[in-house]
Structure 1
């Protein structure tokens, strides 16, 4: 992947206990390193505490340096654009890696292949496929977030999943070694990926089929219109809150349990689509998580079905001993 010319020298390192533990390894990182980064400003819910140490590597080699420097007992959390993510109010202890521009390239290749970095927006992958007359990837315009997140949860929409179009995925293991994985290596199933959580996806190659760009564009417009009409995408929300249980639609179970419009604090079950939670403006992460758990309880009581969270919940509560203090408020939605 192309290096960011603004990040060719070693970055300044915060003087914190964790940064000192990482020592010379952290000093070799070329991307931005910050302590106490404000994650609420970059997640779609706009809630949550800070990251103890945020690292934004510039490319795969830089990320490999981060992983090799990380002690085994230091937790690692990887985030993209924060679309399907609920960061708890006490923040994220350990290292948070945020993949940005150096991982966002998308290239069309001969044979209806698309290669995309892990930070590439799924909707942008669909657009590049359209521009090159590659059909079969239109569903990605209905998947919020990035390719890395889509790989991690085998994301899908409108009848297709990542596993249906995936050729290979590339990931770094905890030692920073690069692996090329085939779908059969990844134990992919509905909203599940069996690749170890401490492996970091960096890219994927997808395969479509020849198609008419105008027909593909029409399908993209149709999907976007359907999302606009049925989902609260203009609010502070994440993706679908719960995975669909076998034989059921999560939203129907939530609706049947009487949860449409249910509120706890500043969190609300969407009136428009009951599988979405909304921050009405004053919600905390604790409000949103408590609301989700209350919904799960009511669905269990009314239908006997156990809902499984699809939203990824990370970090610790505000009263946790490892809660992180905010010291850097400069993080924004822009990539470094």
Structure 2
């Protein structure tokens, strides 16, 4: 694979298990860590359009299969984590951590506290319309800057992204650069207190010290009394998993967490095949038990190891 000259770092055959939260997955053909937007733009303009590009944040909601990714994985870092606040609007680079954005906004009296307990970075939050405690990216989103696969910078509106429950219509290969949000006004001390309360509630109900990727499956569709594209569904994924007898279920080093049955966990030494295989077994058992077809919330990419 011929690659353009860059100012950032290009690494061939880079293991992705070291940079995903679940610590599984084979190598990417190439990992590119651009120095800044200009470096990334020029790279995309020159890169063979037949080569797949896969943008990656902090790997918090991702299973990379054991055979790895036949692509250039673009991982954005320090050149893409700026946070700027002007009045009630907050613009954050896609590599900025959700929790950091929430804290910095709160210190300036801007309420984006819903981001505080969401794992990962702003790029993933926009891509997946992340949210909790009744507030979601779609509720606060103003616009985003992105690069197309060919390196053209574009501005995206909420209409362009067509936010839905845990989904947006960002085209494959496009790379988000930054996003602007509108937050309500609030007292900084009160906002800080609210975030501490949210953190305490999360830590009491979720296995935050275990190796997980957040919620494994979306809450079942068709069970929302509000009609909103969020997780205010009346029926929760953890409940149908538990009812199907799959709380604590294991496959190799993978387990459906005992504390919260919708958290797929690497208990140590799990392969991507273990994790995905257990998830598929859960989907099968839930369907057999209740007729409900669970939809993955964790993104799964790459190739399995081929049997010889």
Q: Where on the TM-score scale, by shorter chain, does this alignment land: which range?
A: over 0.9
**Which residue of the partner structure matches residue 47 of structure 1?**
24
1:253 and 1:71 map into 2 onto residues whose CA distance is 46
Q: CA deviation at 1:177?
A: 0.8
Q: Deviations over 1:230-263 (max 9, x none)?
A: 1111111101101111212111111111000000
What secondary structure does 2:143 align onto? strand
1:320 and 1:313 map into 2 onto residues whose CA distance is 20
1:132 aligned to which of 108, 118, 123? 108
2:276 is equivalent to residue 300 of structure 1:
no
1:204 and 1:165 map into 2 onto residues whose CA distance is 10
Residues 53, 149 of structure 2: 8 Å contact kept? no
Residues 90, 320 of structure 1: 8 Å contact kept? no
**Which residue of the partner structure matches residue 31 of structure 1?**
8
1:207 and 1:94 map into 2 onto residues whose CA distance is 35
**Which residue of the partner structure matches residue 50 of structure 2?**
73
Map residues 70-149 of structure 1 onto 2, 5 A cutoff: 70-110=47-87, 112-135=88-111, 137-149=112-124
Residues 230, 273 of structure 1: 8 Å contact kept? yes
The alignment's C-alpha RMSD in Å is 1.2
Q: CA deviation at 1:178?
A: 0.7
Q: CA deviation at 1:194?
A: 1.1
Q: CA deviation at 1:131?
A: 0.8
Q: TM-score, normalised by structure 1?
A: 0.86
1:150 aligned to which of 90, 109, 125? 125
Q: Deviations over 1:294-319 (max 9, x none)?
A: 00001111111111111011111121
Higher relative contact order (CA 8 A, sep 6+): 1
2:67 is equivalent to residue 62 of structure 1:
no
- CA gap of 1:31–1:320, structure 2 versus 1, over 3 A, is farther
Residues 98, 118 of structure 2: 8 Å contact kept? yes
Q: Deviations over 1:266-311 (max 9, x none)?
A: 0000000111011011100000000000000011111111111110
Unmatched 5+ stretches in structure 2? 224-234
- CA gap of 1:115–1:242, structure 2 versus 1, over 3 A, is same
Residues 8, 33 of structure 2: 8 Å contact kept? yes
Unmatched 5+ stretches in structure 1? 1-17, 322-336
Q: CA deviation at 1:98?
A: 0.5
Map residues 205-220 of structure 1 onto 2, 5 A cutoff: 205-220=180-195
Count of equivalent residues: 296
The runs of 4+ residues in structure 1 deviating greater than 6 Å are none
What secondary structure does 1:195 align onto? coil
Q: TM-score, normalised by structure 2?
A: 0.94
1:73 and 1:240 map into 2 onto residues whose CA distance is 33
**Which residue of the partner structure matches residue 12 of structure 1?**
none
